[in-house]
Chains A and B, each alone.
Chain A
Amino acid sequence: MPSAQIRIANQLAEIRKVADLVDEFGQRHALPERVRHDMSIAVDEIISNIIHYSYRDAASHDIAVCLRLQAGELQAEIVADGAAFDPLEYKAPRPSGPVKQRALGGLGLHLVASLMDKVRYSRSGNKNHVTLVKKTAGSADT
């Protein structure tokens, strides 16, 4: 089963490395552009949330990402320590309203839910495991 891993520090600037990995891994395995882009966005959203909300200290924390291609699915498993946060529990309402009243809370998780085919969450020990799943075939052409 093809896979790739990366470990990054909890800095927003590090997310670029993960997006690059998703792109390279996706291209290497001839995945459609839409699949690569949607997964890059979802990974960006989850990791940004982790960086903004998970930690109670100013220390450096590792975030591990493992990509896998299995049975017609691209999977990204993101593992991080920190406060328990289940992205599935957060039900964001569909965004609406004019510019002045538009709130942005939850937009990232709304994107994740809309772009991914499955999202799984589990917690073991002090670590959150978020797995994002995108089918690699059958989505509309880009």
Chain B
Amino acid sequence: MEITETKSGAVTTVALKGRVDSATAGTLRERLSKLVESVPARLVIDFRDVAYISSAGFRTLLIIAKQSEDAKGGLALCGFSSEVRRLFEIAAFTELFLILPSREEAIAALGSMK
């Protein structure tokens, strides 16, 4: 899985490409943890090029969500394909995150946070 970071003002976007599964979730967790810890952290995770996500990936997202809450940061997800959305619904994860259709909308949502 490839992980690409870009910054737009105060918001960092992490774009993922490939599978988020047992093999890749550990690396993803390390990268996202560092970003969430840098305060103030406003993080967008872009799923546009994600093939699928397994429970290892969901576990990582939950850990990052908890970290982000503790650090009072902002976290938004975007770019879900219908397959990824379906997986999030099965895992009942749609209720845990701010999810926007596009990266632009996600960045705008976090950028306007107080």
Interface 9-residue window, one of A33-41, A61-69, A75-83: A33-41
CA distance A43 to B23 in the complex (A): 13
Q: Is the interface of A mostly helix, strand, loop or mixed?
A: helix
- When the two chains form the complex, which single residue of A33, A34, A44, A99 contacts B54, counting CB atoms closer than 8 Å? A44
Interface 9-residue window, one of B6-14, B39-47, B82-90, B106-114: B82-90
Chain A residues closer than 8 Å to B83, beta-carbon distance: 33-34, 37, 142
Which residue numbers of B lie inside 8 Å of A, CB to CB? 19, 21-23, 51-56, 58-59, 62, 65-66, 69, 81-83, 87, 90-93, 96
Indicate the size class of the contact surface on chain A: 20 to 34
Q: Are B22 and A12 closer than 8 Å at their CB atoms?
A: yes
Q: Are A95 and B52 closer than 8 Å at their CB atoms?
A: no
Chain A residues closer than 8 Å to B53, beta-carbon distance: 41
A100-B23 contact in complex given A45-B54, A95-B91, C-beta closer than 8 Å: no
